[in-house]
Amino acid sequence: MWVTAQEVPIQPSGCAFGTIEVRPDGAFPFASFPPTGNDVFRITWDPAADMAHFELQDLLPRRLLGADGEGTVTLPALVEARVRESGDLEVLPLSVLLFRQGIGSTPLQTALTTGLVGEGAALDEGAPLASDGSFALVGRDEGAKITLRLTGRALPPPDVTEFAPAPHTLRVSGRLGTRCRRGVCSPIGRLQATFVSPDTAPLDCTAPVRLRVSFGGETVATASVTGGLTRRGGGCAGAGPDGERVSVHRLGGRRGRRWTLVVGPLVYHPAFNTLPPGGRVSVTWAVGGLVVHGAPAFSRRASARGVRVRLLR
């Protein structure tokens, strides 16, 4: 049976998780065997409630293989996710059972997302539903120090424009870089992003803040304040464990829907030093319970005094 919103039918999709990756901190990762016909499940779409229902009750534990041996991962019978018109999915908290040879069973508590999870070197990003139905979900159990990544493709793809409005980016700008003296380089610069919230409600300052800049799938720079921010005036502010300072404030008064996020300096990863002279980076940030995406152009130059990257509006 089809579910309709505004008399537009949303047909259920068939899907199988193409890969399931289990990444314990400080240990070899595990990856699932390729899916078979027994790994196919149904996704029903409910645009009236802005929800997707992953019906996994018929799935068997998925086999995993890693350098340390084999294992399995068992997903719950029903996985429910909030859906936005951007294709972003936010899965309600769930339990996953991981079994590894020589270690035994480990119950994991996580909330999967197409946005960002983790912090520092463990920060990971999913991928929203694309026009071809492909997506990636990531989740992390901080207690167990384990990250999950699941990729899939929903066929036929849903019309995501039938779901909840998503925040959208107006501009991303900034100057990122390093300053080097006597062979020691320090991070400098900041990133500024202006975006429009789907409603006029205040942002949730207590929600974790995460930001990732990537190029060609490689992480270029990150920032995170997983403990949330402190409300300050009409916005929020705080600092991360690596010295990054984060502030977000509303533009246009108490009922304004535009917000500006300022982060800096960021934590730079090896891919930062190998960026080409120009191109376009992907920027994703999670703030106030929202996930926002941008893709600004950039220019880069390097010298003995450091690397300078300018983000162009």
Q: Which residues pair with 78 in a beta bridge?
A: 55
Is the pLDDT score of 277 beyond 70? yes
pLDDT score recorded for residue 232: 87
- Encode pLDDT of 152-183 as tens digits: 999 999 999 999 999 999 999 999 999 999 88
Is the pLDDT score of 89 beyond 90? yes
pTM score above 0.85? yes
Is the pLDDT score of 298 beyond 60? yes
pLDDT score recorded for residue 3: 47
Cα–Cα distance measured from residue 13 to residue 152, given in angstroms and rounded to the nearest whole number: 11
Question: What integer best gives the mean pLDDT of the chain?
Answer: 93
271: left (phi over 0), alpha (psi -120 to 50) or beta: alpha
Is the pLDDT score of 288 beyond 80? yes
Is the pLDDT score of 94 beyond 60? yes
Distance of CA 242 to CAs 175, 186, 247, 275, 295, Å?
Answer: 18, 12, 15, 22, 25
User: CB-based burial of residue 159 (10 Å sphere; 0-12 exposed, 13-18 middle, 19+ buried)?
Assistant: middle
Is residue 11 very low, low, confident or very high in pLDDT (cuts 50, 70, 90)?
very high
Is residue 199 very low, low, confident or very high in pLDDT (cuts 50, 70, 90)?
confident
- Enumerate residues 6+ apart whose C-beta is below 8 A from 141: 108, 109, 110, 148
- Enumerate residues 6+ apart whose C-beta is below 8 A from 240: 119, 209, 223, 224, 225, 246
User: Span 60-68, mean pLDDT?
Assistant: 93
- Encode pLDDT of 205-250 as tens digits: 999 999 999 999 999 999 999 999 999 887 899 999 888 999 999 9
Chain-centre distance of CA 302, in angstroms?
30
pLDDT score recorded for residue 2: 45
Which two tokens mark 300? 């880069």
User: Span 13-38, mean pLDDT?
Assistant: 95
pLDDT score recorded for residue 188: 94
pLDDT score recorded for residue 182: 85
Contact by Cβ (8 Å): 244, 285: no
User: Span 253-270, mean pLDDT?
Assistant: 89
User: Span 52-68, mean pLDDT?
Assistant: 95
- Encode pLDDT of 130-149 as tens digits: 999 999 999 999 999 999 99
Is the pLDDT score of 4 beyond 70? no
Cα–Cα distance measured from residue 159 to residue 50, given in angstroms and rounded to the nearest whole number: 12
